[in-house]
């Protein structure tokens, strides 16, 4: 089969690396890809949201399946675009249509969905210009801190968590009346703060049946001790010691099944990944958010832990035969450490030459933001690499990744030195 992956991050490199192992793969294309994906297939320099260029590429290369990495093309309707075209409609797209992508594209939609289908989540109310005057009274029913979420996609920046009610009201006005997050904040969800410990659970579904992929914990903030600004993710581990079999069973019964059945009831034919951001609140799972894609850097630990042929599973998704597919997971622990550009998540410089990638030891170096120029690897993003290693324990896995991370050099390299440390002695 000829496969096209859309996207350019570590997630897409992990997909490319895994698909390249499949005996069924003939040619792999990645658009636009990075210096890492170029080792697994052919990069094509077109944007993941340039649907016309993607259409031409699919025709030209005889692509048999498209795997969509990031949320933007899904929310913008790449799957619907394929279905509307007489030739493209025969080519499966892994990733939901616009209706399903609303689970991520609109916080208001996803909260309504969860309440409609009895999925545990924080109490909430949505506000617009029309009912902003009622926000004060609703906030008085909540215990601080207050969680404010811009309804639309806001590049991961649309969530504010504020202790002070006056500040929360001011920020609500900034979002709704002063367009702090552009039109993404025309509607704002205010919700109850969930106390607990966070993890991510991933589901692959063909719209009828599903496979629960290994869970992961992401390290979101830039600084050691999870301090400082929020980032796209500074590291991840899988499995998660506080998500044992009993907890995952609860997630399946209380969240995954009602979600899949809810999509069916709502007439949403969802074929792709669902990323469920969860809070473990004293052993009870509650949904923080849905995403219509895999997480990054979680994919860089989840995909390596999947033993089965990913291409075979994706074919099951496309043909709605996922229930027939074999699915097995590697028991060892995977940990990934993300190397970023100095300054990230604020301004940073690009195009720094990278050396030392040959010293990968026992690790796998997934590229997140790199570009090839005259056979040299240059930095090309805030997150530059995700270094994944396996171990019998979290400590063993992260130690290997830190060792490899030390060997990679580029100007102003930075990574967190405490990935997984909070979980090493978890009881
Ligand atoms: P989101 O963009 O929805 O992933 O939110 C960003 C981060 O804010 C999440 O990963 C959580 O750490 C935090 N968060 C969001 N909603 C809540 C909530 N209701 N209670 C506690 N923390 C939350
Ligand atoms: N690591 C979080 C995300 O992919 O949204």
* pLDDT tens-digit readout, 126-143: 988 888 878 888 888 999
Say which residues have a Cβ less than 8 Å from residue 415's Cβ, sequence separation at least 6: 234, 235, 337, 338, 339, 340, 405
Q: Is 288 in the pocket of ligand 1 (CB under 6 A)?
A: yes
- pLDDT for res 177: 84
- pLDDT for res 427: 63
Question: pLDDT (tens digit, 9 = 90+) per residue, 276-324?
Answer: 999 999 999 999 999 999 999 999 999 999 999 999 999 999 999 999 9
Measured by CA distance, the residue closest to atom 9 of ligand 1 is: 288
Residue 230 Cα to ligand 2 middle (Å): 11
SS3 of 240, please?
coil
Average pLDDT over residues 410-425: 95
Fold of 197-423: D-amino Acid Aminotransferase; Chain A, domain 1 (3.30.470)
**Lookup: tokens for 34:** 């990075």
- pLDDT for res 190: 93
pTM equals: 0.95
Does residue 395 have a pLDDT over 90?
yes
- Closest ligand 2 atom, residue 293 Cα: 4
| 8 Å CB contact between 46 and 5 | no
Q: Is 332 in the pocket of ligand 1 (CB under 6 A)?
A: no
Q: Is 157 in the pocket of ligand 1 (CB under 6 A)?
A: no
Residue 297 Cα to ligand 2 middle (Å): 7
- pLDDT for res 136: 84
Neighbours of 64 (CB within 10 A): 18
Grade residue 178 by pLDDT with cuts at 50, 70 and 90.
Answer: confident
Fold of 125-191: Dna Ligase; domain 1 (3.30.1490)
SS3 of 101, please?
helix
CA distance 153 to 105: 6
Burial of 61 (0-12, 13-18, 19+ CB in 10 A): middle
CA distance 283 to 53: 47
Measured by CA distance, the residue closest to atom 3 of ligand 2 is: 295
Domain 2-95, CATH number (from 3.40.50.410, 3.40.50.20, 3.40.50.300, 3.40.50.80): 3.40.50.20
Measured by CA distance, the residue closest to atom 5 of ligand 2 is: 295
Q: Which secondary-structure segment (H or E) carries 170?
A: helix 165-176
Average pLDDT over residues 248-274: 98
| Pairing mode, strands 27-32 and 42-43 | parallel
Q: What backbone phi and psi angles, to 5 degrees, belong to 322?
A: -60, -35
Residue 200 Cα to ligand 2 middle (Å): 9
Q: Residue 74: left (phi > 0), alpha (psi -120 to 50), or beta?
A: alpha
Residue 418 Cα to ligand 2 middle (Å): 18
Q: Is 145 in the pocket of ligand 1 (CB under 6 A)?
A: no
Choosing from 161, 200, 284, 298 the residue with most ligand 1 atoms within 8 A of its CB, the one to mutate for a pocket test is 161
Measured by CA distance, the residue closest to atom 4 of ligand 2 is: 295
Which ligand has the nearest atom to the CA of 275?
2
Q: In the chain, what are the domain boundaries? A: 2-95, 125-191, 197-423
| 8 Å CB contact between 63 and 2 | yes
Q: Enumerate residues lining ligand 2, CB below 6 A.
A: 218, 233, 291, 295-296, 298
Residue 265 Cα to ligand 2 middle (Å): 28
Q: Which secondary-structure segment (H or E) carries 99?
A: helix 98-105
């Amino acid at each position: 089969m000829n496969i096209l992956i859309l996207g350019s991050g570590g997630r897409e490199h992990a997909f490319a690396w895994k698909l390249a192992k499949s005996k069924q793969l003939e040619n792999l294309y990645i658009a636009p890809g990075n210096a890492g994906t170029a080792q697994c297939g052919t990069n094509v320099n077109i944007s993941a949201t340039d649907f016309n260029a993607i259409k031409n590429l699919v025709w030209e290369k005889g692509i048999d399946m498209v795997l969509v990495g990031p949320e933007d093309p899904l929310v913008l309707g790449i799957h619907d675009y394929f279905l509307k075209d007489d030739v493209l409609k025969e080519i499966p797209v892994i990733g939901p249509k616009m209706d399903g992508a609303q689970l991520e594209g609109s916080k208001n939609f996803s909260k309504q969905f969860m309440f409609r289908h009895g999925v545990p989540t924080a109490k909430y109310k949505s506000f617009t210009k029309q009912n902003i005057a009622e926000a004060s009274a609703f906030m008085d029913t909540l215990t601080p801190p207050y969680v404010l979420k811009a309804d639309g996609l806001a590049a991961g920046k649309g969530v504010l968590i504020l202790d002070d009610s006056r500040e929360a009201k001011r920020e609500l006005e900034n979002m709704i009346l002063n367009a702090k997050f552009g039109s993404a904040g025309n509607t704002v969800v205010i919700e109850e703060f969930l106390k607990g410990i966070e993890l991510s659970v991933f589901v692959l579904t063909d719209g009828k049946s599903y496979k629960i992929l290994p869970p992961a914990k992401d390290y979101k903030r830039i600084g050691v001790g999870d301090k400082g600004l929020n980032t796209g993710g500074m590291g991840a581990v899988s499995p998660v010691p506080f998500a044992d079999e009993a907890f995952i069973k609860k997630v399946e019964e209380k969240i995954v099944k009602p979600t899949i059945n809810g999509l069916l009831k709502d007439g949403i034919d969802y074929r792709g990944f669902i990323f469920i951001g969860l809070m473990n609140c004293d052993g009870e799972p509650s949904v923080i958010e849905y995403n219509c894609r895999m997480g990054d850097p979680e994919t860089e630990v989840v995909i390596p832990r999947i033993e089965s042929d990913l291409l075979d599973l994706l074919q099951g998704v496309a043909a709605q035969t996922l229930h027939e597919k074999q699915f097995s997971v590697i028991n060892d622990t995977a940990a990934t450490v993300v190397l970023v550009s100095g300054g990230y998540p604020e301004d940073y410089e690009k195009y720094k030459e990278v050396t030392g990638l040959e010293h990968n030891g026992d690790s796998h170096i997934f590229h997140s933001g790199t570009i090839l120029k005259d056979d040299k690897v240059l930095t090309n993003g805030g997150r530059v690499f995700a270094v994944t290693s396996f171990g019998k324990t979290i400590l063993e896995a992260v130690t290997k990744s830190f060792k490899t991370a030390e060997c990679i050099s580029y100007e102003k390299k930075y990574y967190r030195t405490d990935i997984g440390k909070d979980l090493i002695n978890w009881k």
